[in-house]
Amino acid sequence: MTNVNCDQLIDYLNGTLNEQEQKQFEAHLAECPECREIVDATGELPYLADPVEPNTGMKSRILDAVFDEEEHPASLAEERTKRDSPAPPATMAKRGFRTSKWTPLVAAALLVSLLGNAYAFYELSDQPDAPAAPEVAFETVDLQASEAFEGTGTAALVHEEGALNLLVQANQLEPTSGDQVYQVWLLKDGQPIPTGAFTPSQENEGAVFFSLDENTEGWDTIAVTLEPNRGNTMPQGEIVLSAAIDPEA
């Protein structure tokens, strides 16, 4: 397949597209397997070079410079440092949160209900004389499937009255075997905590609702792994679905 967008591939690789063209081409790339495969092939080109041992001390010089940039953000426009600066170490959420397994149908109804509430709230707050906003915030994210995984999923996070409610739904899941479960994790600075597990239905759908009463803030990533068994406190299996979430939400 060749069209106008495919023709921009070399400009893209050469880094000579302007910002808007770059975005357009990246959208094209997501849709065009051929362009993506060509890009992937370029990832192998370095192996045409002879292997060279790194310079002595190179790793620490480079990593120091990289992390130093963060402390002295100088020129680059993109400012992401605020978000992450000295986050407290991620403590594992204590026991005592509620977890329960929902059938996909119930979960779907619940999701609609939660979103409905949040939507009603936003509608309400548009009124000029709306009452003080209740402490409700929600975020939904589409989970990205890892390579070679066919499933899809959505997560909804709802902060309400000091609790964080998390609903994850997934479809087109591969069936599990033996003790395997799909395990949901929330991650903060790379530290995961388990937030519910499920096994797919006969329709290959699954869902889980989970509620945290404490340590509800600052989660930056949600992931689903296929675990060999239930109850792991650290992931052992492959990640199948994941997405970044807004720690501020």
Partner 1 sequence: MEKISDALLYERVRGKDKDALEELYDRYEKMLFSYLCKMTGDRDLAEEALQEVFVKVWRGVGSYDESKGKFVAWLVTMSRNAAVDLIRKQKKPSVPLDEIAEVESTDSSVEETAEWQEKSEQIHQAVRHLSEEQQKMVHLFYFKGYTHETIAEKCGIPLGTVKSRIRLALKKLKTSLQMVQEGGVLDDKREL
The answer to whether residues 135 and 159 touch, using CB atoms and an 8 Å cutoff, is: yes
CA 36 to centroid of chain Cα atoms: 21
To the nearest whole angstrom, how small is the minimum distance from the Cβ of residue 127 to partner 1? Answer: 36
**Residue environment code for 191-201, b if the CB has 16+ CB neighbours within 10 A, otherwise e:** ebbbbbbbebe
To the nearest whole angstrom, how small is the minimum distance from the Cβ of residue 37 to partner 1? Answer: 5
> Which CB sits closer to partner 1, 110 or 224?
224
**Close Cβ partners of 206 (under 8 Å, ≥ 6 residues apart):** 104, 169, 170, 173, 182, 198, 199, 200
> Which CB sits closer to partner 1, 40 or 123?
40
To the nearest whole angstrom, how small is the minimum distance from the Cβ of residue 124 to partner 1? Answer: 33
> Which CB sits closer to partner 1, 83 or 230?
83
To the nearest whole angstrom, how small is the minimum distance from the Cβ of residue 199 to partner 1? Answer: 20
> Which CB sits closer to partner 1, 176 or 201?
176
State the sign of the Cα–Cα–Cα–Cα dihedral 17, 19, 23, 26. positive
